[in-house]
Amino acid sequence: IAGITQAPTSQILAAGRRMTLRCTQDMRHNAMYWYRQDLGLGLRLIHYSNTAGTTGKGEVPDGYSVSRANTDDFPLTLASAVPSQTSVYFCASSDSPGQPNEKLFFGSGTQLSVL
Amino acid sequence: AQSVAQPEDQVNVAEGNPLTVKCTYSVSGNPYLFWYVQYPNRGLQFLLKYITGDNLVKGSYGFEAEFNKSQTSFHLKKPSALVSDSALYFCAVRDSMDSSYKLIFGSGTRLLVRP
């Protein structure tokens, strides 16, 4: 059972470089999310997608972009990385977007360091 | 806008003793409340939720949480802690008045259970 797969597991990136974090799910969930986790701040929503072909901005979308060409994949792109984007990034999915009892399933995360 | 607070960065408890991890929230409408747990180098896992009904909610691994509307709290509890319960715990809230049904996470509380 794979669930949600994120790649790479970790990455060190020079400032100004472009980077795409990959996220794939095999649960056929409609909704997918990208969060960043920072010490003392918990998880903050970057972007989300309620269904293939649609995306939306979360709490901290600046400097990030996403696409949702199909149900399974939801890549997150940093067009020009900056040190403040050093964080742990989590991809999540759910099968009931917008429902009060929506439960999220998370990947194992990508540790990104921007130098 | 909805918010959630976890006032303790870390909770220390001896194995076999009861544990409590605190969470308070603020919403405009009705709260939908969740607890997630994160083990080292893993993504978050769903523990339990409160949507409506009985104020005492039981979840995975023997955990339970009590919804208290007057105190706007949703504290996580377990009668007898295990060393294996040591992890990072996140409270999260969704506001019934928020049409986006955005899930907001607290900053997390690290639980350390000593043998």
Provide the pLDDT for residue A1.
Answer: 58
Provide the pLDDT for residue B18.
Answer: 97
Interface of A with B (CB under 8 A): 4, 35, 40-45, 56, 58-59, 90, 92, 97-109
- C-alpha B94/C-alpha A99 separation (Å) is 10
Query: Nearest Cα to A28, choosing from A45, A52, A6?
Result: A52
Query: Nearest Cα to B3, choosing from A84, A42, A83?
Result: A42
Provide the pLDDT for residue A55.
Answer: 94
What would the mean pLDDT of A59-88 be, rounded to a whole number? Answer: 96
Tell me: pLDDT of B101 over 70. no
Provide the pLDDT for residue A18.
Answer: 97
State both tokens at B62. Answer: 């023997």
Query: Which range among B7-11, B65-69, B99-103 shows the weakest confidence by mean pLDDT?
Result: B99-103
- C-alpha B53/C-alpha B114 separation (Å) is 35
Assess contact for A38 and B100: CB atoms under 8 A.
no
Q: 3-state SS of chain B: helix, strand, coil percent to 5?
A: 5, 55, 40
Q: Kindly report, residue by residue over A84-108, the tens digit of the pLDDT.
A: 999 999 999 998 777 777 889 999 9
Q: Which band of pLDDT confidence, cut at 50, 70 and 90, is reported for residue B103? A: confident
Q: Which band of pLDDT confidence, cut at 50, 70 and 90, is reported for residue A40? A: confident
Provide the pLDDT for residue A29.
Answer: 93
Provide the pLDDT for residue A14.
Answer: 97
Give the contacts of B54 (CB within 8 A, at least 6 positions apart): none
Residues of A in contact with B45 (CB under 8 A): 106
- C-alpha A110/C-alpha A90 separation (Å) is 7
